[in-house]
Amino acid sequence: MSTNSIYRDLLLDHARHPKYSGCLEHPDLKASAFNPLCGDELELTLALSGETIHDCRTQVRGCSICIASASMMSEFILERTLSEVLQISKEFSKSLRKDTEDIPETIESLRPLIDLKTHRSRIKCMRLAWDALEDCAAQHQT
């Protein structure tokens, strides 16, 4: 696979200029995720109004794919409910499996990431932000 196809312009743009980067000062929910394979780490902070995520930030120490994924996720989850994004996260996970071919319309915008799934060693990089999101959702439930 060539660089052009794996590092799509969109991904690189997100990696270079990540959206919603940093930490919220007074978050309602907060979770960290760690990739023990490479030492990458990420902190996600969310602000809620009711069930809806109305603001978020990610603080990432990671590779371009990890940063881009966190940035794309942030754009994606804003103004959605926690249960909605949890469902999306599950769909994203499923689409990263080797044997899944179809990408549901709901996560079409994540296609540049999903296209990288042949690089199995990078799946964790893509999932790190989403893992933190699932952690936040779990905290909220309890």
Partner 1 sequence: MQHHPLASKVRDDFPILKREINDFPLAYLDNAATTQKPNCVIDSLLDFYSTHNSNVSRGVYTLAEEATEIYEEGRESIAKFIGATDSGNIIFTRGTTESINLVASAWAQHNLKTGDRIIVTEMEHHSNLVPWQMAAQASGAELVYWPITPEAGSTSVGLLELEELEELLTDSVKLLAVTAVSNVLGTVNPIAKIVEMAHERGIPVLVDAAQAVARMPIDVSGLDCDFLAFSGHKVYGPTGIGVLYAKKERLDEMQPFQGGGGMIRQVGRQSSTWADSPQKFEAGTPPVAEVSGLAAALEYVSDVGISEIQKHEKELTAHALNRFAEFSDLELYGPQDTCDRTGVLSFNLRNVHPHDAAQVLDESGIAVRAGHHCTQILHERLGVAASVRMSFGIYNEVSEIDRLFSSLDRARDIFLD
Of the two residues 21 and 81, which places its CB atom closer to partner 1 in the complex?
21
C-beta closer to partner 1: residue 39 or 50:
39
* Residue 79 burial (10 A CB sphere; 0-12, 13-18, 19+): exposed
Tokens representing 108 are 């079409």
DSSP assignment of 72-99: HHHHHHTTSBHHHHHHHHHHHHHHTSTT
Distance from C-alpha of 75 to C-alpha of 112, rounded to nearest angstrom: 14
Interface ranges with partner 1 (CB under 8 A): 1-3, 6-7, 12, 15-16, 37-41, 61-66, 119, 122, 125
DSSP 34-47: EETTTTEEEEEEEE
Q: Least Å distance between CB 116 and partner 1?
A: 10
Q: Is the Cβ of residue 16 or residue 97 nearer to partner 1 in the bound state?
A: 16
The answer to whether residues 44 and 31 touch, using CB atoms and an 8 Å cutoff, is yes
Nearer CB in complex with partner 1: 17/97: 17
Query: At its nearest, how many Å lie between partner 1 and the CB of residue 118?
Result: 12
Local structure of 140: helix, strand or coil: helix
* Residue 40 beta carbon to partner 1: minimum distance, rounded to whole angstroms: 7
Least distance in angstroms from the C-beta of 104 to partner 1: 27
Q: How far is the CB of 25 from partner 1 (least distance, A)?
A: 25
Closer to partner 1 by Cβ: residue 3 or 141? 3
